[in-house]
């Protein structure tokens, strides 16, 4: 039996972010080979005076990024959307982030958080005390709430990436602190991606967890699928498992984006 086509992959990175490889056209060819009919290029937004220039596209490469996406849109064997992952940072929201988003006709804008002590905090680290883990998670989800309330974004990327290194917050704590963030996402009419990269991280599962997916479905928050690929070989990784997670939570449709307008389509 021929396998069903996989859903669109709305989270990919290119060599321009300095910690990935491949061009938009490379990703498009890999997607077509995987049976994926649509991808979004979502390079990291450049930051002014970037304190960590090794992980983001520099401002001087922004025009190159737009040109590479246009090239892929014209030559690719699948549909290619212009997107960007606009990392949330409070002091940049009103000026810089809004200015960058105004410079191109984006199809999709991902909102994400990358800074915090959670990034490399291993479960066996002496600093990973129950009190520290609780405060780390409370701070993270407060910032996710702030992100949603800016109304700048279309999709929350790797929503519970705070578990990235393998520290999973207790379920009672999550049931207390996650709902306000999800309420803010729902009020902003945003989607949340099922980001499959977590299966290759210490988290050892997708972002978000099955628990959070259930809470999302209760609020009718739409989903997208994203591999967070940093190499063309990772396009659509673990999407079969992600579809199963989505169906287990009661989802039958995903959000599709065109020029930042959302429609729901079956997967």
* Mean per-residue pLDDT, 220-243: 98
Its pTM stands at 0.96
Q: Is residue 129 in some structural domain? A: yes
Looking at residue 158, what is its pLDDT? Answer: 98
Measured distance CA(211)–CA(213) in Å, rounded? 5
Q: End-to-end distance of the chain based on CA atoms, in angstroms?
A: 18
Q: Is residue 239 in some structural domain? A: yes
What would the two tokens of residue 234 be? 């990772």
**Averaged pLDDT of the chain:** 95
Percentage above 70 pLDDT, the chain: 96
Q: What are 95-128's pLDDT values in tens digits?
A: 788 999 999 999 999 999 998 899 989 999 999 9
Its sign, for the CA torsion 246, 250, 252, 256, is negative
Q: What are 132-147's pLDDT values in tens digits?
A: 999 999 999 999 999 9
Looking at residue 224, what is its pLDDT? Answer: 98
What would the two tokens of residue 88 be? 């949330």
Q: Is residue 33 in some structural domain? A: yes
* Mean per-residue pLDDT, 4-25: 95
Looking at residue 51, what is its pLDDT? Answer: 64
Q: Is residue 79 in some structural domain? A: yes
Q: At residue 3, does pLDDT exceed 70?
A: no
CATH number for the domain harbouring residue 60: 3.20.20.140
Strand segments, DSSP code E, in 33-78 are 38-44
Q: What are 17-57's pLDDT values in tens digits?
A: 999 999 999 999 999 999 999 999 999 999 887 666 677 88
Q: At residue 1, does pLDDT exceed 50?
A: no
Q: Is residue 5 in some structural domain? A: no
Torsion region of 195: left, alpha or beta (phi above 0 gives left; psi -120 to 50 gives alpha): beta
Domain that holds residue 228: 15-266
Q: What are 165-179's pLDDT values in tens digits?
A: 999 999 999 999 999
Q: Is residue 7 in some structural domain? A: no
Q: At residue 93, does pLDDT exceed 90?
A: no
Q: Is residue 2 in some structural domain? A: no
- Structural domains of the chain, count: 1
The neighbour count for residue 29, using CB atoms within 10 Å, is: 19
Block residue for tokens 């190159």:
64
DSSP state at residue 3 = P
Q: Is residue 8 in some structural domain? A: no
Looking at residue 53, what is its pLDDT? Answer: 66
Residue 11: closest CA among 239, 171, 184? 239
């Amino acid at each position: 039996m021929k396998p069903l086509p996989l859903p669109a992959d709305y989270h990919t990175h290119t060599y321009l972010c300095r910690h990935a490889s491949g061009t938009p056209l490379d990703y498009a060819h890999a997607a077509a080979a995987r049976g994926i009919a649509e991808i979004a290029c979502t390079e990291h937004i450049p930051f002014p005076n970037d304190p960590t220039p090794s992980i983001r596209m520099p401002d001087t490469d922004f025009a190159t990024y737009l040109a590479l996406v246009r090239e892929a849109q014209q030559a690719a064997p699948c549909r290619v959307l212009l997107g960007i992952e606009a990392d949330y940072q409070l002091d940049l929201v009103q000026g810089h982030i809004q200015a960058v988003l105004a410079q191109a006709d984006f199809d999709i804008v991902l909102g994400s958080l990358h800074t915090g002590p959670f990034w490399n905090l291993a479960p066996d680290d002496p600093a990973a005390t129950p009190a520290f883990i609780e405060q780390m998670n409370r701070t993270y989800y407060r910032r996710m709430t702030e992100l949603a309330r800016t109304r700048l974004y279309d999709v929350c990327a790797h929503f519970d990436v705070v578990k990235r290194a393998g520290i999973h917050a207790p379920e009672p704590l999550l049931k207390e602190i996650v709902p306000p963030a999800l309420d803010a996402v729902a009020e902003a009419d945003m989607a949340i991606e099922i980001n499959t990269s977590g299966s290759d991280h210490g988290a050892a599962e997708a972002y978000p967890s099955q628990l959070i997916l259930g809470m999302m479905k209760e609020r009718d928050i739409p989903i997208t699928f994203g591999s967070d690929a940093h190499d063309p070989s990772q396009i659509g990784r673990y999407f079969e498992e992600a579809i199963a997670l989505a169906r287990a939570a009661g989802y039958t449709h995903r959000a599709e984006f065109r020029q930042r307008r959302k429609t729901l389509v079956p997967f």
